[in-house]
Amino acid sequence: MCNKKKFRSNNKDLQSVEKKMDRRHFLTTTSMGIGAFALGSLMGLEKVFGGTKKTAQEEIMQSLPHFLPKAKRVVYLFQSGGPSQFETFDYKPKLTDMFGKELPSSVRQGQRLTAMSAQQSSLPIAPSKFKFKQHGESRTWVSELLPHTAKMVDDLCIIKSMYTEQINHDPAITFFQTGHQLPGRPSIGSWMSYGLGSDNKNFPNFIVLTSGNGGQPLYSRLWGNGFLPTQHQGVQFRSGKDPVLFLNNPENYHHEDRKDMLSYLKELNEVQNSAYGDPEVDARISQYEMAFRMQTSVPEVTDMSDEPDEVFEMYGKDSRTPGTYAANCLMARRLLEKDVKFIQLYHRGWDHHAGLPWGMKKQCEATDQPTAAFLKDLKQRGLLEDTLVIWGGEFGRTVYSQGKLTPQSYGRDHHPKCFSMWMAGAGVKAGMSYGETDDFSYNIVKDPVHVHDFHATLMHIMGIDHEKLTYKFQGRRFRLTDVHGNVVNDILS
Amino acid sequence: MDFSNFSLFIGRFHPLLVHLPIGFIFMVYIIEIAEHYKLIEHTKKVVKLILLSGGVSGIITCVLGYFLGSGESDYDFESIQLHQWLGIITTLVVFGAYFLKEKDNQFYKPSLGLLFILLSATGHMGGNLTHGSTYLTQYAPIKFNEHPNEFERPEITSVEEAQVFGDLVYPILETKCISCHNEEKKKGNLSLTSKASILKGGKNGAFVVAGNSAKSSFVERISLPHHHEDIMPPEGKKPLSDQDIALITFWIDQGMGSFDTTLVALSPDEKLEEIVLQRLGFKASKSSYAFENIDPAIITQLKENHFEIRELIVGSNALDVSISKKIDINKGIQTLEPIKNNILWLDLKEQDVNGEDLKKIGQYTHLVKLNLSKTSIHDNDLMALKELQNLEVINLHSTNISDEGLEILKGIPSIKKIYSWNTNIGKQLAEVH
């Protein structure tokens, strides 16, 4: 607390307020201060006897990365709402002959259903209305709804045996993003940012892009930092004039003035910090500095006018419309080229309780081509060499129809016990399918992969031992995988 | 109230109370010396009072010591006998000194000398009983080879020489167990200082059951929950780490509790192998990534000049280097010279790299991945990279490289992938292997 600069107002009213503040300051710092002093002297002694003793957290941070990282960056294409595995990657030909038949109770095994279909008098089996074909050298079955993804299938590692414990959107997506079904934990991207730091100080480590409308809402806690320092939360880029809100200077406000203002503000914050030592003050200082750097870096990356026409054609015509999934995919590639560590796209609208064939068709049309183009683009630019791409939702969907089953249309309810997702790029085997479900895609019969296992594997690919990256908060050490998670070694390249 | 163990209860105050007579006696020395140098005078009454106090507290200490010694069966019988008699003699000599002082006898000062020797001997023996005989000299600058240790191992120079017990398990025993389980102080009648005594075990028997850690009381006791009554080391001392327990379990299960099995004869799993290598000080020998140390100041300076540098595995000195904005790369490459043998991944995309720079990069012996995309390099510049023995991936997209450059790169035996989209080669991705 030495060498503290005092900022004093020359306004009389303010001076009287400052005096009161001092009295309060005295009271608060002395009541806590005695304890703090005792603690401080203890820590001082520790320094005398123990040399430079590191805190436990510092030791954790300095042990990273634990392994040779396979990937430097992650792009997570989150399909919010729960895309059906039946109409995408989990081909179930035997269901065709069982159209409309009752789901055998031996398959369901008394599993509790959601309130949305628990009241149904029957649970008729609904085979996929769409055809499947084998693609690529890996001869992987892919639905006709995903013709572009099908062409990239030899680059994918499809996991058909994902499962979760959550059956409704909010807890399921929160679970997927933070490792816990209740809000408050840091998201995957925040852990990565915290653990691995930045490769480009002009951008946040964790950037979020959202698209799609209707369906389940998204909320900023999905990319929240939880108890980790605030600068590790995801920064959302929007479409339109201000990609990052409140980033631009007010009109007629000069860049240099901004710089001066921020440097004074930093001094003020440091005064506050030296008095209280609140890490959130550090976080705020670093965020202001980041925002200042982003004033130049963000317009550069969001201005897509330097992309040639053939790129827009590859990503599809939507890619010219800001805020679409296609435009976000293209933006993600541009951010990757700037070495942003963790980019997460969220695309809404996969929650097809009714009218699923129509809904799936619409969503696949909006996402299939951009997704495939994104992969292809990354591959040709060599970015797939050190980038991991992930595609998937928060859970799967039921084999039985929710609501009326007709040859033209049906719906599917939430199904946590199995669903498909894929990874591609650095660290995972290409052209691989992992795990199997039963003939009804209701239960997993081989190689189940839990959400915690997925997190553990993802961290492993980034060079982190998921058991070792912990953060102590409220007396407990937290991990992304809590006390669970096994790395799925079989899919690692 | 239960008084059945009362004598043992008060007996355990012996190590506390013993310091009282010691303190009194030392006070006598201080006063006598002070008087000798004429700093104080007329001390006879005071000295007598202190000596009397020392004698009386000595008697109490002896009684408590007797309770402790007869109540606890963990101590070596001979050592404790000797300690007991020395303690009694010391107390008697204190009284002797009291009477000599009273009479102003000429033997008073020699008696103080005798007392000093007795006190030191008794105290040292007591300390050995409590802490074990190696406690005092363990960290002494000079090694006292009073007790030749049959587990003593020469420094090993390779993993092949490592013995599971001698190099991995014994060090744990030495730091965490032996202070209470040795020949002088056999807590639970267990001594861990020789092969025979380890095999014999303690009063609970079956200390080590070869091949069956679950039945070995050794593993059972160390892996109890931390607040369990029977956990070893006992509550208040630091429990063994998970790594320690894993190693001991491994020694019993796979090493069959044998004392001379070598590590290479067994097959530790990946995690254990890592622990083992770390403990033996061969941390990075498994992966080949262990490079010469770097001056942290160099890294700091490079980071200030827009280089992004991170270590690929902690402690390996293997670096991943990229640049966050366009810089004067010719100068930049020069600043990388001091760490050129540490760079594994190098990303120079969009920088104005020229042939001279590539000649320097051609000497980065450990380079594995090189990104030269969106640069203006030419085919013949790539000749400079021919000597790179470890280069596996090179990214040349959006450059003017043609088939000629591709041929040069194909000549590098280690190369696996060449990214050549948007170049004059015309192929999108040339996979060589």
Given this model, what pLDDT does residue B347 score?
93
Please tell me the least confidently modeled range out of A35-49, A382-396, B238-252. A35-49
What are the chain A neighbours of B311 within 8 Å (beta carbons)? 65
Amino acid at B269: D
Residues 6+ apart with CB under 8 A from A33: none
> Does the pLDDT at position A29 exceed 60?
no
Given this model, what pLDDT does residue B231 score?
84
Residue of chain B whose Cα is closest to the Cα of A71:
B312
The count of other CB atoms within 10 Å of the CB of residue B357 is 23
Residue with tokens 């920088």, as numbered in its chain: B351
Q: Among residues A233, A365, A237, which one has the least CA distance to residue A303? A: A237
Whether residues B373 and A382 touch (CB distance < 8 A) is answered with yes
Given this model, what pLDDT does residue A53 score?
57
> Does the pLDDT at position A51 exceed 60?
no
Whether residues B349 and A337 touch (CB distance < 8 A) is answered with yes
> Does the pLDDT at position A1 exceed 80?
no
CA distance B263 to B276: 9
Query: If you average pLDDT over residues A63-74, what whole number do you get?
Result: 89
Whether residues A202 and B325 touch (CB distance < 8 A) is answered with yes
Whether residues A69 and B312 touch (CB distance < 8 A) is answered with yes
Given this model, what pLDDT does residue A2 score?
43
Q: Among residues A357, A340, A359, A358, which one has the least CA distance to residue A349? A: A359
CA distance B93 to B118: 9
Given this model, what pLDDT does residue A265 score?
92
Write the secondary structure of A234-251 as one string of H (helix), E (strand) and C (coil).
Answer: CEEECCCCCCCCCCCCCC
The answer to whether residues B432 and B394 touch, using CB atoms and an 8 Å cutoff, is no
Given this model, what pLDDT does residue A8 score?
60
Whether residues B289 and A380 touch (CB distance < 8 A) is answered with no
Q: Which of B311, B324, B419 sits opposite A339 (nearest CB)?
A: B324
Percent of chain A surpassing pLDDT 90:
68
Given this model, what pLDDT does residue A428 score?
95
Residue A400: strand, helix, or coil? strand
Q: Among residues A289, A298, A249, which one has the least CA distance to residue A270? A: A289
> Does the pLDDT at position A227 exceed 50?
yes
Q: pLDDT digits over B350-387, tens only?
A: 999 999 999 999 999 899 999 999 999 999 999 999 98
Q: Among residues B391, B335, B347, B392, which one has the least CA distance to residue B372? A: B347
What are the chain A neighbours of B373 within 8 Å (beta carbons)? 381-382
Whether residues A68 and B349 touch (CB distance < 8 A) is answered with no
Q: pLDDT digits over A157-198, tens only?
A: 999 999 999 999 999 999 999 999 999 999 999 999 999 988
Q: Which of B313, B325, B417 sits opposite A68 (nearest CB)?
A: B313
**Span between the terminal Cα atoms of chain B, in Å:** 82
Given this model, what pLDDT does residue B272 score?
81
ipTM of the modeled complex: 0.80
Residue B343: strand, helix, or coil? strand
Whether residues B369 and A386 touch (CB distance < 8 A) is answered with yes
Given this model, what pLDDT does residue B138 score?
72
Given this model, what pLDDT does residue A4 score?
47
CA distance A406 to A300: 51
* pLDDT < 70 regions, chain B: 73, 143-149, 236, 282-289, 426-433
Residues 6+ apart with CB under 8 A from A485: A450, A452, A453, A455, A456, A466, A467
Q: Which of A64, A339, A381 sits opposite B373 (nearest CB)?
A: A381
For chain A, what percentages of helix, strand and coil (3-state, to nearest 5) are there?
A: 40, 15, 40
Contacting A with CB below 8 Å, chain B residues are 287, 289, 308, 310-314, 320, 322, 324-325, 345, 347, 349, 369, 371, 373, 393, 395, 397, 417, 419, 421-422, 428-429
Q: Among residues B329, B323, B286, which one has the least CA distance to residue B307? A: B323
A306 DSSP assignment: G
Please tell me the least confidently modeled range out of A322-326, A351-355, B125-129, B345-349. B125-129
Given this model, what pLDDT does residue B164 score?
86
Q: Which of B289, B325, B397 sits opposite A68 (nearest CB)?
A: B289
> Does the pLDDT at position A54 exceed 80?
no
Q: What is the model's pTM?
A: 0.69
Q: pLDDT digits over A414-429, tens only?
A: 999 999 999 999 999 9
* Burial class of A381 by CB neighbour count within 10 A (0 to 12, 13 to 18, 19+): buried
Query: If you average pLDDT over residues A111-132, what whole number do you get?
Result: 92
Given this model, what pLDDT does residue A47 score?
42
Q: pLDDT digits over B213-270, tens only?
A: 888 888 888 888 777 888 888 876 777 888 888 889 889 888 888 888 888 888 777 7
